[in-house]
Amino acid sequence: MNVTIAPSFVPNPPGRGTLGLLWECLFTYFLCLWTVGHTNVVDPPGQWPELTSKFGWCCMIFFLPEWAVYLVVVECLRARDFRRRANKDIPADQDGERVLPTGLPRYAEVPQATSSRSPQKTGHDPFCPVTRKIVGPGPRWGLTHGHLAEMGGLKFKHDENEAEFPLPDGIQQLAKCNMLPTVSFLSAKIQALQKSDKLAKILVCLQVSWLIIQAIARRIAKLPVTLLELNTIAQVWITLVIYGLWWFKPQGIAEVIEVDFSHCNQCRKQLRENGTWPLFSSTRQTNTDAWEIWLEGRKFSVSFLFGIISIAGTVYIAVDALGWTAYFPTHSEMIVWRVSICIFAGSSLLLLIAALLYYLALGSDTTRAFLTIFASSVALLARTVLTIEAFISIRRLPVGAYSTPSWSDVIPHIG
């Protein structure tokens, strides 16, 4: 029997195939969606747990990315509000220590808040948060600590009842009387509890960078870029925006950090004298009221948030619109793609109009809500059509779609 022996080394076939193209886009989709989600420790009342789970966030970012951007922006503004209140009227010196406007250390005003004196002299219990340096003066809060309070990861207990969540005013009052958890304590807890996968995040950045560079190189080399690649880049843009907004938010924390003052009479006395405890709630609350949030003393209305949503949607449309002159398997699919782009652009315009109505307080609440819901529904329909067409278009592609550019012609060089 004659047997043909292959060479010792056989290189991979040149170019790329359908499965390679499909795998590259799906892998990028999955990495972005799965690593971008930062779930809360405790959800506020009135929200569906399924919607705020990791899988729920993936579905929302995929189907309604503009709404996901809206929720993420609101969370970031709340976290900054918590941070502002924790650091209000407490400037930081070069060493990061809390100081008074007079230049004296903050603990000079409330000696019992420090642990430099013995528990017998300060009147604190040997195992209370003050003695154990869990609370007291120290460096100012960062955005990560503000996110921790916003996401329901911090509770306080002052009696035998269940521990309660701090309101923004409660955080501010705790800071005034030096009963706020220190940065060192919170940072150590966050480091021990969070489950952030840095390797997955690095893979996301590398994969997204490769996809974008490859698409640019194909354009330069005058090779066709498939609709699937364009749609993937458009989707990745939204996830990168959310990724940046949530950069300082702890990820994967499932346990609430509790500060217990209930066993120390001195702590409870200090809390009562400063009128701190009415500023807490048994359920996690949000500091939004009538679609408005406060940040750094300025009011950001719903129009500001709708503006961010419209910008994110505009970039999504612009990337998909690059396929206006791309190859389509049939003429009907080309018409559907172009009509969907126009409908998507129209829905973004409606959201801008809704934002303007909110800003100018024109029209009734029902009218503005209907306009917002209608625009979001139309955008969802158009995005679904674009995504389906991006996947089914790979059944029939020009030969150039499977060619790879010559990198020596694309990368600038001398000689």
Cβ contact 228:22 at 8 Å: yes
Percentage of the residues of the chain whose pLDDT score is greater than 70:
76
Structure tokens at 371: 């306009």
* Domain-located, residue 56: yes
pLDDT reported for residue 44: 60
On whether residue 368 sits in a domain, the answer given is no
Is residue 363 assigned to a domain?
no
Contacts of 330 (CB under 8 A, 6+ apart): none
> Among candidates 338, 268, 271, 350, which has minimal Cα distance to 309?
350
**pLDDT above 50: residue 151:** yes
Cβ-proximal residues to 235 (8 Å cutoff; 6+ apart), any chain = 29, 32, 62, 65, 316
Residue 305 is assigned to a structural domain of this protein: no
Token reading at 154: 């911090």
Task: Look at residue 315 and tell me if it is in a domain.
Answer: no
pLDDT single digits (tens) 158-205: 877 778 888 888 888 888 888 888 888 888 888 888 776 667 777 777
In the structure encoding, which two tokens stand for residue 313, read together?
Answer: 């949607």
Return d(Cα 173, Cα 158) in angstroms, integer. Answer: 15
Query: What is the per-residue pLDDT for 94?
Result: 38
Res. 335: pLDDT tops 90 = yes
Whether the predicted pLDDT of 241 surpasses 90: no
The phi-psi region of residue 225 (left if phi > 0; otherwise alpha if psi is between -120 and 50; otherwise beta) is beta
Return d(Cα 237, Cα 23) in angstroms, integer.
19
Pairing between strand 165-166 and 280-281? antiparallel
Q: Write out pLDDT tens, residues 197-227.
A: 667 777 777 888 888 888 888 888 888 889 9
- Is 294 strand, coil or helix? strand
> Distance between CA 72 and CA 407 in Å, rounded?
39
Position 232 in a domain: yes
Q: What is the pLDDT of residue 340?
A: 92
Residue 395 in any domain: the answer is no
Token pair, residue 80, equals 């900054």
Cα gap 179→136, rounded to integer Å: 5
Tens digit of each residue's pLDDT (9 = 90 or more) over 2-55:
666 657 666 666 667 888 888 888 888 888 887 877 777 776 654 555 455 777
Q: Does the structure show a pLDDT above 90 at 332?
A: yes
Say how many domains are in the chain.
1
Q: Report helix, strand or coil for 119.
A: helix
Residue 339 lies in a domain: no
Secondary structure letter of residue 134 according to DSSP: S
Q: Which domain holds residue 274?
A: 18-300
Which among 237, 236, 241, 231 is positioned nearest to 384, based on CA atoms? Answer: 231
Asked if residue 339 has pLDDT above 90, the reply is yes
pTM for the structure as a whole: 0.75
